Copies of this chain bind each other. A is one copy, B any other.
Amino acid sequence: MPQSDTVNRRFLLAARPQGLPTAQDFRLDQAAVPVPAEGQVLLRTAYLSLDPYMRTLMEEGGTSYAPGVTLGAPMIGGTVSRVVASRHPQFQVGELVLANAGWQDYALSDGQDLTALGAMAQPSRALGGLGMPAFTAYVGLLDIGQPRPGETVVVAAATGAVGSVVGQIAKLKGARVVGIAGGADKCRYAVETLGFDVCLDRHDPQWAGQLAAACADGIDVYFENVGGEVFDAVLPLLNLGARVPVCGHIADYNRQSLPAGPNRLQLLMATVLQQRIRMQGFIILDHYADRFEAFRRDMGEWIDAGRVIVREDVIDGLENAPEAFIGLLEGRNFGKLVVRVSED
């Protein structure tokens, strides 16, 4: 069924995934549309963002920065939502807001987690190119990675919501950019449209050797968002003084136990030492107060001027969210993945 005025479709966490989530881990539930109390607004979801971090929230206990989703509760997620009823002085009916309404048609909010979007040509961008994923790229690359002109920056998931922006900002800063992506079409897009210098197809069995050849002068900044075999291939190529912002490691999110040996931890530590590497983890939630304004200003200018291109992979219909999310974890999306929940 499509979005309705009287039913709130919601995806609940039905089971904690064993490895890659399956459709059975989500349950489509129908509830009444909730009614706002004094001080609350009722939100109707226009766009739902699907992002890799959601996989970590499906685990018991969640993460250090957010509790996990309770079994039987709605899946968590960022949204662009329209205010359809308001008992809050700051929000008017009809306004579009950035919200955390989750995988559902309707949600209540007391306004504290809402950001008014005003008039935006393409509101879904608030979830991607002008939102959390691009902000993650901006902070991780500029504040931690600190690329200098002529340096080599490597990023995987090169056409994804984060990686595509990392590479394009690195180019704006004068770096040489080598991407890694899954598929020839994505690689072509990274080079021809996004302006990467090189992009290697991870489906090619020779990709690791090609990476070494493409980084003959080594790697100065590796923006870590995938982990796994990409990190293994990058490690021996890191230059003296290389910086490694650690943003995520999607390759590991579906693992249920540590991988088999040998234990490569000491190899990492030896490399960190010998090459004087700075490796730093960051969670973007920590940086909104200090850096979001600068990001919005810079990124707005870059997008308007066509200097950064943002591609969206838009899925129609809330009912398709689980399959789209599973596809994201498998790398099947091409650009920032969003679900258009209403025709709004």
A286: chain B residues within 8 A (beta carbon): 276
Partner of A246, one of B247, B265, B269: B269
Q: How far is the CB of A27 from chain B (nearest CB, A)?
A: 28
Partner of A277, one of B263, B264, B281: B281
Q: How far is the CB of A210 from chain B (nearest CB, A)?
A: 23
The reply on A258 being an interface residue by CB < 8 A is yes
Inter-chain pairs besides A258-B267, A264-B264, A268-B268, 6 sampled, C-beta below 8 Å: A249-B273, A261-B263, A263-B264, A272-B279, A274-B281, A276-B281
Query: A residues near B, CB below 8 A?
Result: 63-65, 224, 227-228, 231, 240, 246-249, 252, 255, 257-283, 286
Q: Find out whether the CB atom of A278 lies under 8 angstroms from the CB atom of B280.
A: yes
Q: Find out whether the CB atom of A259 lies under 8 angstroms from the CB atom of B249.
A: no
Q: How far is the CB of A262 from chain B (nearest CB, A)?
A: 4
Q: 3 tightest A-B contacts by CB?
A: A261-B261, A258-B262, A273-B281
Copies of this polypeptide in the complex = 2
Distance, CA A269 to CA B229, complexed state (A): 13
Q: Find out whether the CB atom of A266 lies under 8 angstroms from the CB atom of B252.
A: yes
Q: Find out whether the CB atom of B262 lies under 8 angstroms from the CB atom of A63.
A: no
A262: chain B residues within 8 A (beta carbon): 257-261, 263
Instruction: Name the residue on B nearest A266 (C-beta).
Output: B252
Q: Find out whether the CB atom of B246 lies under 8 angstroms from the CB atom of A273.
A: yes
Q: Find out whether the CB atom of A280 lies under 8 angstroms from the CB atom of B276.
A: yes
Q: Find out whether the CB atom of B248 lies under 8 angstroms from the CB atom of A273.
A: yes
Distance, CA A222 to CA B260, complexed state (A): 27
Q: How far is the CB of A229 from chain B (nearest CB, A)?
A: 11
Distance, CA A273 to CA B286, complexed state (A): 12
Q: Find out whether the CB atom of A259 lies under 8 angstroms from the CB atom of B259.
A: no
Q: How far is the CB of A278 from chain B (nearest CB, A)?
A: 4
Distance, CA A277 to CA B144, complexed state (A): 12
Instruction: Name the residue on B nearest A273 (C-beta).
Output: B281
A277: chain B residues within 8 A (beta carbon): 280-281
A246: chain B residues within 8 A (beta carbon): 269, 272-273
Distance, CA A266 to CA B253, complexed state (A): 10
Q: Find out whether the CB atom of A269 lies under 8 angstroms from the CB atom of B257.
A: no
